[in-house]
Structure 1
Amino acid sequence: MLKGNARAIFIGFVGSLAVLGGFYWYVGIDETLSVLSMADTKILVLVVVGAMCWLVAWGMALRTVLGVLGSTITPVKATAIFSGVLFANNVTPFGQAGGEPISGLLISHATDREYETGLAAIASVDALNFVPSIILATFGLGYLASSITFDGNLQYAAFTIVALAVVVPVSGYLGWQNRYRLERFTVSLITPVIRTIRGTILQREPLAEGSIEKRIEGFFSAIERIATTPRELALALGLSSLGWIAQGACLWLSLYALGHVVSPVVVLIAIPIGAVAGVTPLPGGLAMIELVLAAVISALVVSISHPVIAAAVLIHRGAVYLLPTIVGGGVTAILASR
């Protein structure tokens, strides 16, 4: 699947590097490199440790969801699989939206389960990850609203968080209440598309409509099983929250390594807003997430210079983007060879 999207992935990376290069040229490449050269190496090690904690926490959330679906795997395997999921997200356009079909395939291969089960598992984990991020950012904005005036980039950040805080739960509630109608609609919409793609593009015998309908129903049934296990849902949400806190710690430590101490509220607001930029057509949101993080931090902490913020963002993204991409790429290669 990745091979078939190789051209789009290559073009996406070229575009990301161009945008990223333009950003650091604007901030000042020499100034940013000068700041990076003064970073405390001991703290940089902690940044990597924080990224590993984030990866393990979200891997365990995936393990919890898979357990509900009847697939028991070890914590190490869950972390390895989730690193492969992040690799798929990081190299495909539109981030999680573009990487989920590939992630479902990786999970199904690694756990020997049906494709729709793997897709339901990763879709559930991605949906669960939105909840604590919105809650953390909303509390952070509420705390800041009592002490500062929102203007410029901060107004856009506040609007984004408030919009997500309203749209996500409302959409989830409406989707759950109308899940059977949504299932029937999905079957009627997807079935002809799958049959056309399989028969014309893939040059293979079209699947029977009943077979496609059964697979789609299997996906919705898996989602329903996950949604009706409150104890496991609470555990997965707790692990997801730990992952977001670990990501925030990475960004906080990145600034601290450069000699700047900021309020934890700053990173708890910046990280979720930056994650929203991951839905752009660029692979994994590369370049756009960096720009958003830098814009939010500069709006919240005006006392830190732009080169310092750019350097801190580079350190943070180097840990949370490169680590799962490298590890996950190896996991994906192993599964592909099987």
Structure 2
Amino acid sequence: MEIRRRHVAAGVLTWVAVFAVFILLAGPTEFVDAATNLSQARLAGILVMNALGTISMGLTLYTVSRGAGLNVSPIESVFLNTTVNLANNFTPFGQASGLPAGGVIMSRWTGQSFEKSVAALSTKELVGFTPGILIMLFGGSYIALFDATIPERIRSPVTVFTVSIAAFVLVLALIYRNPDPAHRVIHWVVTKLNHGIGYVPRLSKVEEDEIQRRVDGFSDSIEEISTNKPVVIVAATLTTFATVTQGVLLWIALGGVNVDISLALVVFIVPVSLLASAIPTPGGSGGIEAAQIGLIFAMTGGQRATIITAVVITRGIIYWTPIAVGSLTLAGIQFKKWWLA
């Protein structure tokens, strides 16, 4: 899968439509008034946190790529990671459809196989769940049991959510200890998708032996990375830092529009809201923002307009950073391809 003009158009138009709706909900005048309350120091802090998060996730990709045997430098990884995020923002279902496009980009840049590139990206995404799960698990437990600042009506849903996360962690642990069933499931899914491709015009099915080879290559690359404990530890640490930076930049923005909320609570809300990226819009546009707005409003009772303003500004910066940087990177990849042709 490649990023085409229709993907770019759909991503941009969806983002504009979604954010226009949020601005209308806040009230255009109220939105502008709240946005102008952000001081230059706070805006600078937001941009610095966003840059640190971008670099941290790029270094995460570098860590897992080196573990997979891909020859990329730290700087290359930072820029390549923005192209992957660009693919996530311009294709529906977020990472589910963005990963194949990102795999094509990495494969072209590194000259390595598509399966190895996708394995590195998949591992980065899986490791990226680690800090979010830990924050949701331990943060949710603390909020449900000890935090006296949240309304009582919120405590029960937080408790149920935390128990669900604990069950999810248990399932992941079972899969990790028993990888063979997971391998069979992946092969079954790919085979079914390949069978369906035969009914699509201008597309042809892949031979069964080729499917087996690709699935085996993907699984072997995943196992090679996941069993390298130093790689996993470093990658998990970097993604944890990146998750915290997103929480900090949102907290800075909320403080700038006079929404009183603790930093710990915002850091908890960020990974929870990212679960909404699964909605079928480019980059999950609308779902993440709605989740953050709803959770912050439920837990603080603050003014709707100021909360929407803070979320829209921070999410806009996070959304457009990979588009700006990733587009330049894609142009560089195309130039490299032309130069070597």
Common fold by TM > 0.5:
yes
1:39-58 superposed matches below 5 A? 39-58=38-57
State the 1:41 CA deviation: 1.5
Query: For structure 1, which segment, 255-264 or 105-114, has the greater mean C-alpha deviation from structure 2 after superposition?
Result: 255-264
Residues 247/44 of structure 1: CA separation in 2 closer, same or farther (3 Å cut): same
State the 1:297 CA deviation: 1.1
Q: Secondary structure at the match of 2:112?
A: coil
Residues 103/316 of structure 1: CA separation in 2 closer, same or farther (3 Å cut): same
- Equivalents in 2 of 1:121, 1:213: separation in Å? 19
Q: Secondary structure at the match of 2:332?
A: helix
Residues 29/79 of structure 1: CA separation in 2 closer, same or farther (3 Å cut): same
Q: Secondary structure at the match of 2:22?
A: helix
Residues 55/157 of structure 1: CA separation in 2 closer, same or farther (3 Å cut): farther
1:45-101 alpha-carbon deviations (Å, 9 max, x no partner): 121111110011111111111111112422111100111111111111111112111
1:189-241 alpha-carbon deviations (Å, 9 max, x no partner): 4236436637953455x543222211110000011111211121111111111
Residues 32/141 of structure 1: CA separation in 2 closer, same or farther (3 Å cut): same
State the 1:20 CA deviation: 3.4
User: Does 2:312 correspond to 1:314?
Assistant: yes
- Equivalents in 2 of 1:329, 1:156: separation in Å? 41
State the 1:38 CA deviation: 1.9
- Do the aligned residues in 1 keep the contact of 2:151 with 2:299 (CA within 8 Å)? no
Please tell me the residue identity of whatever aligns with 1:45: A
1:27-106 superposed matches below 5 A? 27-106=26-105
- Do the aligned residues in 1 keep the contact of 2:83 with 2:322 (CA within 8 Å)? yes
- Equivalents in 2 of 1:279, 1:215: separation in Å? 26
1:1-338 superposed matches below 5 A? 1-3=1-3, 6-7=5-6, 10-11=9-10, 14-145=13-144, 146=146, 147-148=148-149, 150=151, 156=157, 159-167=160-168, 169-191=169-191, 193-194=193-194, 197=197, 201-203=201-203, 206-260=205-259, 262-302=261-301, 304-337=302-335, 338=337
1:247-276 alpha-carbon deviations (Å, 9 max, x no partner): 111111112333455311121121011111
- RMSD, aligned α-carbons: 2.5
Residues 238/94 of structure 1: CA separation in 2 closer, same or farther (3 Å cut): same
TM-score (norm 1): 0.89
Q: Secondary structure at the match of 1:201?
A: coil
Please tell me the residue identity of whatever aligns with 1:319: I
Residues 209/336 of structure 1: CA separation in 2 closer, same or farther (3 Å cut): farther
TM-score (norm 2): 0.88
Please tell me the residue identity of whatever aligns with 2:72: I
Q: Secondary structure at the match of 2:95?
A: helix
1:269-304 alpha-carbon deviations (Å, 9 max, x no partner): 2101111111111111112211111111112222x3
Residues 141/181 of structure 1: CA separation in 2 closer, same or farther (3 Å cut): closer
Residues 266/189 of structure 1: CA separation in 2 closer, same or farther (3 Å cut): closer
- Equivalents in 2 of 1:113, 1:80: separation in Å? 17
- Equivalents in 2 of 1:322, 1:153: separation in Å? 32
Please tell me the residue identity of whatever aligns with 1:256: G
- Do the aligned residues in 1 keep the contact of 2:277 with 2:287 (CA within 8 Å)? yes
Residues 29/153 of structure 1: CA separation in 2 closer, same or farther (3 Å cut): farther
Please tell me the residue identity of whatever aligns with 1:165: A
State the 1:118 CA deviation: 0.8
